[in-house]
Structure formats: C-alpha cells, structure tokens
Amino acid sequence: MERIAAYARGAQARRRRARKRLHAYFATLFPSLCPHHRHHLVFFFNPLLPSWINFPIVLFRDMGLAREYEFLTEIGLGPRNVGGYINGVWKACGPVVSTVNPANDQVIAEVVEASIEEYEEGMQACFDSAKIWMQVPAPKRGEIVRQIGDALRDKLPQLGRVVSLEMGKILPEGIGEVQEIIDMCDFAVGLSRQLNGSIIPSERPNHMMLEMWNPLGVVGVITAFNFPCAVLGWNACLALVCGNCVVWKGAPTTPLVTIAMTKVGLMVQQTVNERYGKCLLELSGNNAIIVMDDADIQLAVRSVLFAAVGTAGQRCTTCRRLLLHESIYQKVLDQLIEVYKQVKVGDPLEKGTLLGPLHTAASRNNFKNGIEVIKSQGGKILTGGSVIESDGYFVQPTIVEISPSADVVKEELFAPVLYVMKFQNLKEAIKINNSVPQGLSSSIFTRRPDIIFKWIGPLGSDCGIVNVNIPTNGAEIGGAFGGEKATGGGREAGSDSWKQYMRRSTCTINYGSELPLAQGINFG
C-alpha cells in the first residue's frame, strides 16, 4: 500500500510539473490570451509515458459564452475580456462591466476596464511613441494603415456580426460599418502620398514662401455607441497617416445619449480650448427631408424609410423631420404609412429584419416617455408609438403628425420617430429646415434645377450635409462629414478633413544676401 501511495504521490507531482510546463508552453502559443483564460485550459495526458511522447489534447472548458456567441472566439473574444491595449500589451485592472445583447437583454460578455494609472501609462507611451512615429515617412505610415485594413477584411463577417450583436443594428448595417473603416484605410493609404502644402509667390526677391504640414502628436478619439468602429476609422486612419498616435475611448452605454454627448462635447471643447488645443466635435443632428410637389414620390418614400427606420433611428444622420408640400402631403403619407406597416422588427442578426432593438433599456424608456411628451404638445400618432413587449428593447417605428413649432421637434429623441409636417413653398420649407439648433444633414426631393441650386446655395440649407434626391444618412467617406451650429462644426473622413489632424506652418526662406522687407518697409 505504501508503494502504491508513493507511486500515486509521484504521479500527482509529475502531473503538476507537466501542467506547469504546458501552461508556460501555451503562454508562448497564445500570448494574447490572459492568464485568467489560460487557467481554463484542460490538458489530457498519460503521466506514465516519457515526457517527449506526451502530446497534449487541448480543450477549452466552458467559460460562459452562450452557443450563439461562440463566433466571438474567432476574433479573440471570450466571456471576460481585457479592455485596455497599452504600450503594446493588453492589460486592465479597473472595474468590470457587462455588455448586453439589446435583442434579448442577456449578458454577452464582460470587459475589464483600464484603471486611471493604466490610462496615464498609456498616454505616456503615446507621447513617447509619437516622437518616433511622426518621423516615419508618410507613405510608410500609409503602408501600416493598409495592413490594418487587410486584417479587418480577413475578419469582416465576424466583426460585422459583433457590431450588430452588441449595438443592435441589423447585420447588413453592422457589416457595412466595418466595411466603412476598411474603406477609410484604403482612402488613407492614398492620402499618405498627398499631404501636400503650397508654394506661395513672394513679393521679395530671392525669397521663397511655402506651407508645411506637420503632425499634432497625439490625437484622442471619443466615439458614441451607434457607430462603435466607423467613427474611429474616420479619425484614426487619417490621424495615423498624418503622423499622430491615437488614443481611443469607446462609448459607455448611457441613456439620453444625444443630450449627454452634446454636454460632454461642450465640456471637451472648453477643456481643450483652455490649453489652446484643437477640437473636432460631431454632436447631435435633427435632420429634415423636404419633398417638393414635383418629386419622384416612390424614390422619396424609399429614401425616407431607410433614413428614418435604419439603425432604429439611432444614427446622427437619421431623418427626424419630414416636410411635405401640401399638394402631395396625403399621397406621400399614405404610401409611407403602408410601408411602415411592412417593416420586419426582430433579431438584427436574422435575415430580412429591417428594425432591430434600441441599444439599451434606458433608450426604450426614453422612447416611451418621449411619446407622452409628443402627445402633450399636440402630436398625433399616425402609426406605431408603442413599446413592443419582449425581452429585448424593441419599439414600433413611429410616424407623428405635428406642428414644426412644437418644442419637442427641436430635440432628438434618438429613436425611430418621424415628425411629418406641411409647407406651402420652398422658402417656408427652408425656414423650417433651418429652425432647429442642430445643423448636420438635410435633403430635398425635386427635379427642378432652380430649386436644387437655391437649396445648396447661400439662402438654402444651413447644414454641413446638403443632399438632393437621396436620404439624409448613408454618407460616403470621400466627402467631409460633419455639421454646423449645435452639431459642432467639425469635419471628418474625406475631402481635406486631414488638415484638422495636422498643424500648418508658413515658411519664408531667404536664399539671397540682401534683406528686403515686406510692404516695402525701409528700416535703416
């Protein structure tokens, strides 16, 4: 018995030593897997065989991911994830937060947030790295961004699926959002060879004037929940090829997002202004579509449906207000109500779904309370207007007939609620369009060139995005994205938005031996 006990003790010791070696071995195989997750590796081996014969069969013990979320492992995610990537290492020891599937109110996974100390460490690493990164030639920086785009392409379906799962937008929109950041990578690669300055003729002989664009150093990006990765792409891709390092803060899920983000934006602007820094704000939108009496009504109805219902009304470019010429008012409204009744509401990952859930329970409650405010201000619910009883945060797509002067029209409910109103002529329609504090996106449906050019001219829309015969949402990356007034005035993505991520220097070079002064000044 003693010999058997001694043999058993020896076998246990061998198993412990082997397990320790294997943990070390798999730490080298899976460096991105945190020790907590490596602890769940289960090894099967025969302790009686020589160590060189033992080949471990590695299985993952059930770590809490539901079967429908198992695809997350394909992109390196598990039931508990480290939320900070600092100085080349995944690390975080702050609070643990849960991410919830808005379609069924079930926890998807947990994320360990970075601590204040880790944030400071990351910022210092960014400032140190920026000194090196800004000296790398811009086309070489573009090559790195190209590789980022290729890596995203390889995981496009999985990444699009996780965007839809966590945010609640339908799968085609989730995949489209990831495609947007891939497109931004491609755009930035080309841009990396076109960060051009200007040569300016000098009034002085033997002098040359030119403009130089240099990196800012470190760029911080704060993104909202509704576009968790696309907005990062708009900013980070440009900032990187411009020679900056980037710090990204993803969105906490909070109620009253639009109001909160606007207030946060104002605080950010004030704080940055105090140190004379540069600030790019893209805040709230309260966007209108105008349908003139000569419009293609079928085209307008399809556009309004996507603009008002897409992403469950949670885009900053969502159509909130529909302005219909009085002569076609009822005709357009009847068609729109009919297509609204055909909208499939359900799981955003299921094929055919057009309207997924709102992002949070608080958003659903905000919708419910907002409907009561609408009714109290004279709004008439034409279709929808109710919460859908389910485990998820679903609401009905809603159309409301209301006066353009109602106070609630001036605000964003950030839900699939569309206000409809009449107008008599173009001048009145433009006045209504411009009557809200926000100025992000706008669109008009007409076939008349004179109306089009008035609409896009100095007495037309006061928004940053002024469309014709297309929805207010779904902007391409090639144009500058952003708005005026309470929207913040910033511009992201295409055109010359890259200039906001750099500082401009005007350089005058004297290559002669004389010192002529500008404006013909003779100073002794």
Which positions are annotated as active-site residues?
Answer: 282
Sign, Cα dihedral of 130, 131, 133, 138: positive
Let me know: does 509 contact 306? Beta carbons within 8 Å: no
Cα distance between residue 291 and residue 426, in whole Å: 10
Let me know: does 386 contact 363? Beta carbons within 8 Å: no
Cα distance between residue 173 and residue 163, in whole Å: 9
Q: In which residue are the tokens 């090639």 written?
A: 478
The alpha helices in 313-383, defined as continuous H runs, are 329-340, 361-376
Q: Which residues of 30-64 are buried (b: 16+ CB within 10 A; e: fewer)?
A: eeebbeebeeebebebeeeeeeeebebeeeeeeee
Cα distance between residue 468 and residue 452, in whole Å: 7
Let me know: does 9 contact 17? Beta carbons within 8 Å: no
Cα distance between residue 90 and residue 84, in whole Å: 6
Question: Quick one: tokens of 282?
Answer: 């893209």
Sign, Cα dihedral of 149, 153, 155, 161: positive
DSSP secondary structure letters along 145-173 = HHHHHHHHHHTHHHHHHHHHHHH---HHH
Cα distance between residue 358 and residue 102, in whole Å: 7
Considering just the CA atoms, what is the radius of gyration of the chain in Å? 28
